[in-house]
């Protein structure tokens, strides 16, 4: 089973690209997770919710925000460990 993450992002956002690259680097460490990238500009409700806050990273939809602007590797690692322990 893979731990799900949702990255709220937008095109032409260097911070968004940086966060995705950092997540992909963590996956290279053998972390078992997948990242769904959601373009906030494709949905007016997401623009209203996140607008200038992107990138924003969440785990499961019912979980609180893990980080925004910059990847918090410690928060990601804790979340993955918690999910794996629950399996």
Relative orientation angle of helices 14-27 and 73-86, to the nearest 10 degrees? 50
DSSP string, 19-85: HHHHHHHHHTTT--EEEEEEEGGG-HHHHHHHGGG-SEEESSTTSPEEEESS--HHHHHHHHHHHHH
The mean pLDDT values, 10 residues at a time, for the chain of 87 residues are 91 96 83 89 96 93 89 93 85
State the pLDDT at residue 67: 97
């Amino acid at each position: 089973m893979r731990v799900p993450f949702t990255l709220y992002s937008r095109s032409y956002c260097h911070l968004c690209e940086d966060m995705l690259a950092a997540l992909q680097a963590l996956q290279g460490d053998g972390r078992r997770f997948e990242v769904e990238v959601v373009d906030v500009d494709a949905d007016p409700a997401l623009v209203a919710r996140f607008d200038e806050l992107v990138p924003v990273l969440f785990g499961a939809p019912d979980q609180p925000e893990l980080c925004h602007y910059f990847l918090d590797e410690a928060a990601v690692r804790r979340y993955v460990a918690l999910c794996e322990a629950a399996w």
